[in-house]
C-alpha cells in the first residue's frame, strides 16, 4: 500500500507481502520491533510512514533490505483480479499483468528467469493491489495458458516482430488453461485433448465449454504423444498395455492434462484402473516426465515426442494429436491477440518450428470459428 511523505512523493509499502512470505503474523512482527500491532497495520495499509529507525528494525526482522520493504512509487498502483495459483505453498509476490474486458488480471510469477510486471503490495475490495515495475505498458500483454514448449518460441517471435507487445506464457495443462479462459483470466488457452477412442477432439471439447460464445480455434502445431523410455528402450516397451505392468515405475502427469487423459485411457483398455501416482512419480509437464525417465527415477512415462528427443531419450509413438489455441472470436480480431496469430503464419516462425524435434507446423495458423449455440 502507499503513503505520502509530505513532500509530494508516494511511498509504497511491500511490508505486508514480505511479512506474509516470512509466515509472520502482524502481532509477531510488531513484538519483534517493539511497536503496537495497530501501528504495524497502519504502515502496511499505507496510512503511516515509518521512521528511519523503525524501517531498519523491520528490515532486520524480516531479513530484507529497507529498499525491498519500501520504495518511492514510479508507476501508479492498480487493482487486479488474482488468478488462482496452483504453485507452491509460499505465495509469490511478483506478478504478470494483462487486461481483459477493461479489468486488470494478475498471475503470480514463480520462475526467477521470467520477467514480471509488478509486485503485490496489498489487497483492496477482494482484489490485489499491484505496484507496476514500469518500463512497459502491460495493456499490450497477451496472457497465454498452455503446456506446449513451442509457446515460448511463439512468444519471443511475437515480441521480436511487435516491439510493444509482450506474450506472457503461463504453463498449464489443457483443462486448467480452459478453466482460466472460461473465467476471463487469460486471452488464449492451449488445448490438446484428442481422444479417438472416446470420439473427443479439441473442437468438440472447446465447443462444449463455450456454447454461449463465438470462439476461434487456431492450430499451433501437430505432435505425437507416446511412451518416453530410456535410450535403446532396454525394457522393450512397445505399447500402452505396458503402463499396466506392476514392475514398472510410471511417471504420470497431473489430472486435466492431455497426457494423463491418454495414459488413463490406455490403462483402462488394458483392464487396469488408473490411480494417483506416488509423489516422486508425479510430473507437472512433458519435460518433467522426460526428466524423471532420464535420471532413472521412472522407467516410462507418457509425454510428447519433442520432450523425449530433447532429453536424449527414446520414444514409442501412440497418438497423433493437434495442439490448438482457443480464444473468444472478438479477441482474435483485435490487437494484441491478432498480432500473436499473425506470427503463426510468419515464415521465420514456421522455419524455426520445422527444425525442432517432434513438431509439425504444416497446419500452423489454420483457423476454425465455432459459433455460439446457446446464448442464454
Q: What is the pLDDT of residues 41-58, one digit of tens each?
A: 888 877 788 999 999 999
Per-residue model confidence as pLDDT tens digits over 175-208 = 999 999 999 999 999 999 876 555 558 999 999 9
The pTM (predicted TM-score) of the whole model is: 0.77
For 206-217, letters b (16+ CB in 10 Å) and e give bbebbeebebbb
Parse the chain into domains and list their residue ranges. Answer: 2-72, 78-132, 224-321
Q: Which CATH architecture has domain 224-321?
A: 3-Layer(aba) Sandwich (3.40)
pLDDT, position 68:
84
**Segments of the chain with pLDDT less than 50:** 2, 4-8
pLDDT, position 6:
46
pLDDT, position 324:
96
pLDDT, position 77:
84
pLDDT, position 303:
95
Q: Which CATH architecture has domain 2-72?
A: Orthogonal Bundle (1.10)
Amino acid at each position: 500500500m502507499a503513503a505520502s511523505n509530505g513532500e509530494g512523493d508516494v511511498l509504497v509499502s511491500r511490508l505486508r507481502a514480505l511479512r506474509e512470505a516470512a509466515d509472520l503474523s502482524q502481532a509477531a512482527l510488531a513484538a519483534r520491533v517493539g511497536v503496537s500491532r495497530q501501528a504495524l497495520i497502519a504502515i502496511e495499509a499505507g496510512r503511516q510512514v515509518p521512521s528511519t529507525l523503525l524501517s531498519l528494525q523491520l528490515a532486520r526482522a524480516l531479513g530484507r533490505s529497507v529498499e525491498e520493504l519500501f520504495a518511492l512509487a514510479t508507476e501508479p498502483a492498480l487493482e487486479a483480479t488474482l488468478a488462482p495459483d496452483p504453485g507452491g505453498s509460499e505465495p509469490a509476490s511478483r506478478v504478470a499483468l494483462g487486461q481483459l474486458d477493461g479489468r486488470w488480471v494478475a498471475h503470480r510469477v514463480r520462475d526467477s528467469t521470467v520477467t514480471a510486471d509488478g509486485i503485490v503490495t496489498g489487497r483492496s475490495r477482494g482484489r490485489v493491489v499491484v505496484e507496476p515495475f514500469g518500463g512497459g505498458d502491460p495493456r499490450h500483454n497477451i496472457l497465454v495458458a498452455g503446456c506446449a514448449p513451442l509457446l515460448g518460441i511463439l512468444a519471443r517471435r511475437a515480441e521480436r516482430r511487435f516491439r510493444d507487445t509482450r506474450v506472457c506464457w503461463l504453463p498449464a495443462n489443457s483443462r486448467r488453461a480452459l478453466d482460466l479462459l472460461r473465467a476471463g483470466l487469460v486471452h488464449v488457452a492451449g488445448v490438446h485433448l484428442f481422444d479417438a477412442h472416446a470420439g473427443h477432439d479439441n473442437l468438440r471439447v472447446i465447443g462444449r465449454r463455450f456454447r454461449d460464445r463465438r470462439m476461434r480455434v487456431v492450430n499451433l502445431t501437430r505432435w505425437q504423444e507416446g511412451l518416453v523410455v530410456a535410450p535403446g528402450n532396454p525394457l522393450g516397451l512397445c505399447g500402452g498395455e505396458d503402463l499396466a505392468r506392476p514392475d514398472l515405475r510410471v511417471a504420470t502427469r497431473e489430472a486435466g492434462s492431455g497426457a494423463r487423459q491418454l495414459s488413463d485411457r490406455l490403462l483402462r483398455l488394458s483392464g487396469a484402473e488408473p490411480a494417483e501416482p506416488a509423489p516422486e512419480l508425479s510430473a507437472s509437464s512433458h519435460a518433467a516426465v522426460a526428466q524423471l525417465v532420464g535420471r532413472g527415477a521412472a522407467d516410462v512415462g507418457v509425454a510428447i515426442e519433442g520432450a523425449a528427443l530433447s532429453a536424449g531419450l527414446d520414444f514409442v509413438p501412440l497418438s497423433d494429436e493437434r495442439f490448438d489455441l482457443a480464444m473468444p472470436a472478438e479477441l482474435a480480431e483485435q490487437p494484441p491477440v491478432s498480432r500473436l496469430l499473425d506470427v503463426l503464419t510468419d515464415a521465420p516462425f514456421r522455419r524455426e518450428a520445422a527444425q525442432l524435434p517432434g513438431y509439425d507446423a504444416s497446419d500452423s495458423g489454420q483457423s476454425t470459428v465455432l459459433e455460439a449455440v446457446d446464448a442464454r
